[in-house]
Structure 1
């Protein structure tokens, strides 16, 4: 299998086409790409971003870096795909917790339910919070880590808002929740101030309760 995967010529002869797009042209190629990505993602979740490289990813995937370059458009593309996969897992778990229970639960109750899914000590969660720091450290190269997080989480938070709210109000409150929770996550990873973060979270919940009360008045 690897001999064929190392053939990096595109079927249509077009140069510069991303490798994983070439491999996705067949069910077999796409299945192989997903398998490799799963292995790299699992390694990234356990070992973090430090010293991440194409060769480290190849060792984790049990293949060669040339094979990875057939399926992915370089180390940054591979990192992006793995981070997004971890974020998908986190979002699914958080939204499942937020939407469980009666449909008339308040937004404050939904945010309270999803918080443990975002703030646990699972290695994959720690890595996603490290990614925020990486985006701040080198925004030119890694700024997408923050932008993609917003694109992923913001629509989910908007969907949790009361249906009676205007779209503008939903967007404003969702932005407030996203920015506040993101700040809490960075604070937790850097200071481990559980008491202070818990107090801040309760203040956020009260702010959401007031927002909902004002909207229904």
Structure 2
């Protein structure tokens, strides 16, 4: 891909991310999505291969943004690990993120079922989070031998509570459960 193609691809991806955040996705066709973001379905196919390929890239980009948020949170060494966890939870569970979270779970489920075009999502859906979370844990003095296991537990807990929040809407109950989990790190 040329630099110009990469720029066009990045612009289309950013427009799709914004569209999904504002309108959700539901069963939007590639043609209607393309029209909504001011392009053609052919350009989306050219850059992403398929609707599934585009959605996988949307999920990956949103996940990368969330990991960047974690980087920004951990940059403040004065915060305790519990404070970093609270700030990250507040960010990822914000209602403005719900369309992206719904898309994440939808695409994750499709990938687990082996739906064509979605399998690439499984590559890197856990490890980058483990790496970031382990770095945060190590920075806050967690034992290096258990940090990665605790990072996996943290990723699983956050994802599980996000799924609970999206399914039930029980903000108070989910926040209480997250506080209980965080208390193990205080």
Structures share fold, TM-score greater than 0.5: yes
Out of 127, 133, 136, which is 2:99 matched to?
127
Task: Give 1:171's aligned residue.
Answer: 148
CA distance in 1, matches of 2:110, 2:57: 20
Correspondence 1:156 to 2:132: yes
Answer yes or no: is the 8 Å Cα contact 2:81–2:136 preserved in 1.
Answer: yes
CA contact (8 A) 1:107 1:161 kept: yes
Q: Which is bigger in relative contact order (C-alpha 8 A, separation at least 6)?
A: 2
- List 4+ stretches of structure 1 deviating above 3 A: 142-149, 163-168
1:116 paired residue number = 90
Task: Report what 1:180 is aligned to.
Answer: 157
Query: How far does residue 152 in structure 1 lie from its aligned partner after superposition?
Result: 3.3
1:74 and 2:40 are equivalent in the alignment: no
Residues 127 and 198 (structure 1 numbering): CA distance in 2 closer, same or farther, change over 3 Å?
Answer: same
- Root-mean-square deviation (CA), in Å? 2.3
Q: CA deviation at 1:146?
A: 6.0
Shift of 1:42: 1.4
SS of equivalent residue, structure 1 residue 87: helix
Larger Rg: 1
- Which residue number in structure 1 is paired with residue 167 of structure 2? 190
Q: Is the Cα–Cα contact under 8 Å of residues 130 and 155 in structure 2 kept in the other structure?
A: yes
Equivalent residue pairs, number: 181
Q: 1:132 to 1:202 in 2, by over 3 A?
A: same
The aligned residue for residue 74 of structure 2 is 99
In the superposition, the TM-score normalised over structure 1's length comes to: 0.73
Ranges in structure 2 where 5+ consecutive residues have no aligned partner: none
Match of 1:28 in 2: 4
SS at match of 1:57: helix
Change (3 A) 1:153 1:128: farther
CA distance in 1, matches of 2:83, 2:41: 46
Alpha-carbon distance in 2 for matches of 1:208, 1:38:
36
Kept in 2, the 8 Å contact 1:135–1:144? The answer is no
Give the superposition deviation at 1:74: 1.6
In the alignment, structure 1 segments of 5+ residues that lack a partner are 1-23, 210-217
